Amino acid sequence: MQVAVVGATGLVGGVMLKVLEERNFPVERLIPVASARSAGKTIEYAGRKAVVVTLEDAIALKPDIALFSAGGETSLKWAKKFTESGTVVIDNSSAWRMDPDIPLVVPEVNGHVIKRGHRLIANPNCSTIQMVLVLDPLHREYGIKRVIVSTYQSVTGTGIKAVRQLEDERMGISGEKAYNYVIDKNCIPQCDVFTPNGYTKEEMKLVNETRKILSDDSVAVSATAVRVPVAGGHSESVNIEFRMDFDIQTVIDLLGKTPGIIVHDNPQANQYPMPAMSEGRDEVFVGRIRRDYSTENALNMWIVADNLRKGAATNTVQIAEYMLQEGLI
């Protein structure tokens, strides 16, 4: 297959290349795509060199699949130009996620919504992916009434500029800033820009995308998203109120049997998920699973995942794998 990676020179694009190779995705020809200023550079993939091309050149090559990770503006302008030439586009930006005609997919949860003829698929937000993977089996078993989530998000979610800011600050170097404030030894209660309702776009993504993926607008979600000085993965403190009562051990067993989830929960031995544990891994880790005694039928848990992998690149590649497996490409 001819596979284009749009944004191949970026942080997530680089991880996409790594994941494609690790998972032995059937790439006959890799087409790395970036801006005009990067065109002509070479990158290495599976022991071979590939020349970076522009978006215009990539469309002319008519790839079978294009994995987009170049930002919303690029996706809005170019994604449908690729699909019109016969390419299946899996887009990692927020551009198409809430379009009712475009599937928003976490393969383990709702891969079935992709139908023959779909040529543009949206990859959810990183924080949403790790949360809904855990919520889905619990929603099917007990019916979720309400979710309250507070995120502790890695600087890698902002991009390489933010990673460099954190590194510079730790070394006492003055450099380019991705944030309005110092991030080292600090927490910034703002991920993305604020919307008129007082919530940030990141927080509203958790609300709207969760409902769309679970196909249930009755699930109430309240989110607070915080940027923390970590470069390993995203963490989430999640409180879930169910419509039915539950047994803690049954919840643990159910999550332990769910593909893509690792339950790491032994408080007596001080065992619980941490972002350092998730870095470089594709699984979603869950721990601190405990009943919320302040109200009926409620549960607290801690969810951690590598936001560049399962939260972005790996989920994108898994969508492509699912479509191949189902004969949709």
Phi and psi for 155 in degrees, rounded to 5?
-65, -20
From 112, 126, 187, 264, the catalytic residue: 126
Helix (H) or strand (E) holding 248: helix 248-256
Catalytic annotation, pick one of 139, 191, 234, 264 = 234
**Which own/partner pairs from 218-221 qualify as long-range (CB within 8 Å, at least 24 positions apart)?**
218/145, 219/139, 219/144, 219/145, 219/146, 219/147, 220/145, 220/146, 220/147, 221/146, 221/147, 221/148, 221/149
Residue 241: partners with Cβ closer than 8 Å, 6 or more residues away: 144, 145, 146, 147, 292, 295, 297, 298, 299
The DSSP string of 298-314 is EEEEEEEE-TTIIIIIH
> Has 191 been annotated as catalytic?
no
Assess whether 118 carries a catalytic annotation: no
Give yes or no for a contact between 313 and 18, defined as CB atoms under 8 angstroms apart: yes
Residues forming the active site: 126, 234
